[in-house]
Amino acid sequence: MSKQFYKRCGDCWQYFPAEFLSIQIYCDKCKNKGKTEKRPSNQERYINRIKRARFIRLSNFDIYDLERPLKDIKGFERVCRYCGEPLKKVDGSYSSGKRYCKNKEHNGDDLFEKFNWSYVSSFYAFEIQKEFKKKIIEKMDKIKVSKDYFSYFTVCEECGDLCRARERWHKHYAPSGLLHSIIDKLDVINVHHIQPVYTLIEENILLIFDKKNFICLCKTCHGKRHRKKAEAPFKYKHEYKALTSWF
């Protein structure tokens, strides 16, 4: 039988059994606590926070080993968020500052980038730019812009129109002169959720970070999508994807 690890409840601070990289932060007693006709439960408020912020705090993945009590302090040692390995200093004693073991694949940067909307949406937009490179260059030729400036352009996945790859550039790489005036007339590309965030529930909340739920759209197509949702509210489809499937 595999060893059991635990999380610490965000309400009562008691330890409860939990899986690695799960998004649950409340024990079974507390997750439905506080619910009234006008007020959502602890777990519902937590899911709503993820929907508003569009990222998951890395502290939510902290996990503990109850077989490793802390010396002189009430509580237990945190272990690696990925695998449960003890977190030790060079001298072999417990390190309260570490969150990951020595395995290079187990790191906070990877977690942060996978569950932070600003990162996953930027990476997706870059992938689309590479995928449609030939089409983008053909459209650049039509407006007499050298392919050397490819990085400034992308296309809408729906209508195929040429778009601006990003809203702002670093001052050292910003377009200037005629190129700037050409780019300024283009729509900035929008990374849109096919299944809208407001429809998501706990079972499919991770679709916020799933690139299969993304599409790059120009301003016009993006507006049309939102108008259609307003006229005919989207009926969500349950598409549960476990958090661990991202790794």
Block means of pLDDT (10 residues each) for the chain, length 247 residues? 90 95 94 91 95 95 96 92 95 94 93 94 94 95 89 93 78 66 87 93 94 94 78 46 43
CA–centroid distance for 116 within its chain: 3
Q: Which residues contact 195 (CB under 8 A, 6 or more apart)?
A: 204, 207, 213, 234, 236, 237, 239
Domain membership of residue 96 (yes or no) is yes
Residues 230 and 157 in one domain: yes
Output the pLDDT for position 88: 94
Output the pLDDT for position 179: 82
Output the pLDDT for position 148: 87
Residues 133 and 217 in one domain: yes
What gap in Å lies between CA 3 and CA 84, rounded to an integer? 9
Residues 36 and 97 in one domain: yes
Domain membership of residue 70 (yes or no) is yes
Output the pLDDT for position 242: 44
Output the pLDDT for position 237: 45
Residues 208 and 131 in one domain: yes
**Residue 186, both tokens:** 């283009």
If you count them, how many residues does the chain have? 247
**Domain final residue pick, 98, 114, 130:** 114
Contact 171, 203 (CB under 8 A): no
What gap in Å lies between CA 120 and CA 210, rounded to an integer? 8
Residues 185 and 143 in one domain: yes
Output the pLDDT for position 180: 78
Considering only CA atoms, give the Rg of the chain. 23
Domain that holds residue 40: 6-114
Residue written as tokens 């930027």?
122
Residues 129 and 244 in one domain: yes
Residues 214 and 120 in one domain: yes
What gap in Å lies between CA 81 and CA 114, rounded to an integer? 15
User: Exposure pattern of 204-219 as b/e (b: 16+ CB <10 Å)?
Assistant: bbbbbbbeebbbbbbb
Output the pLDDT for position 71: 87
What gap in Å lies between CA 111 and CA 145, rounded to an integer? 39
pTM of the model: 0.82
Domain membership of residue 1 (yes or no) is no
**Residue 232, both tokens:** 């005919």
* 52, containing H or E segment: helix 42-53
